[in-house]
């Protein structure tokens, strides 16, 4: 039994923090997991910037409401889900993901949770588990699934390498250069072909 594990941002939808950086005019928020391998360090950096500017969940959700899936993403996901089981493994947050999942046809997603106070200030975040993507892939494997994984960032490498097949999708040249053993592609047709060949 196979299950495909996909990253969300950069694979199916644009990067939420980059979109918010552009909408808010705060270029420092463009930093993502493509730039910073240490997720805790990255999130503390983001929350500090939000606090400095007096921005909270409401403002980010207003930006998310304007984000659409990447062209072809929903069709890719629909065809993939008609072929095999798939789940999105993301380091985003449930408060960010819901409107995007609606636009993608409500696929299953495992993600994290923001801690928000009564004024809408994001005070902290809570991971589902340690090493969320790798831990989830290992758990699926322990349930009898063979995993196939795809993503674009540092935080996807562990789940890709732990799976029976894994692919980089629209990854930066720096990551592709550092991991030449991982097949890389840039179109949904190519990714679907690679996944189907691994089933």
Report the chain's C-alpha Rg in angstroms. Answer: 16
Q: Are 163 and 3 in contact (CB under 8 A)?
A: no
Out of 9, 15, 91, 152, pick the active-site residue.
9
Is residue 23 helix, strand or coil?
Answer: helix
Out of 7, 91, 152, 156, pick the active-site residue.
7
| Bridge pairing between strands 85-93 and 2-6 | parallel
| Bridge pairing between strands 85-93 and 165-169 | unpaired
7 among known catalytic residues: yes
| Bridge pairing between strands 109-116 and 122-126 | antiparallel
Q: Are 29 and 20 in contact (CB under 8 A)?
A: yes
Distances from the Cα of 174 to the Cαs of 66, 90, 106, 134, 193, in angstroms?
Answer: 30, 21, 32, 22, 24
75 among known catalytic residues: no
DSSP for residue 170: S
CA pseudo-torsion sign 12, 16, 22, 23: positive
Measured in residues, the chain has a length of 199
List the catalytic residues: 7, 9
């Amino acid at each position: 039994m196979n299950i495909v594990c996909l990253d969300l941002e950069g694979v199916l939808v644009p990067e939420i923090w980059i979109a918010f950086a552009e909408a808010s005019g705060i270029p420092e928020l463009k930093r993502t997991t493509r730039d910073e391998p240490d997720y805790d360090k990255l999130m503390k950096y983001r929350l500090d910037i939000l606090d400095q500017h007096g921005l909270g969940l409401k403002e980010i959700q207003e930006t998310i409401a304007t984000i659409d899936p990447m062209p072809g993403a929903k069709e890719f996901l629909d065809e993939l889900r008609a072929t095999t089981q798939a789940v999105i493994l993301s380091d985003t947050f449930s408060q960010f993901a819901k409107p995007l999942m609606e636009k993608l046809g409500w696929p299953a997603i495992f993600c994290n949770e923001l801690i928000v106070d009564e004024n809408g200030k994001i005070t902290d975040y809570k991971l589902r588990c340690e090493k969320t993507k790798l831990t989830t892939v290992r758990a699926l494997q322990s349930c009898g699934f063979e995993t196939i994984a795809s993503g674009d960032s540092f935080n996807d490498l562990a789940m890709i390498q732990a799976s029976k097949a894994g692919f980089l999708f629209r990854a930066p040249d720096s990551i592709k250069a550092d991991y030449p053993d991982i097949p890389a592609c840039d179109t949904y047709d190519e990714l679907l072909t690679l996944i189907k060949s691994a089933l």
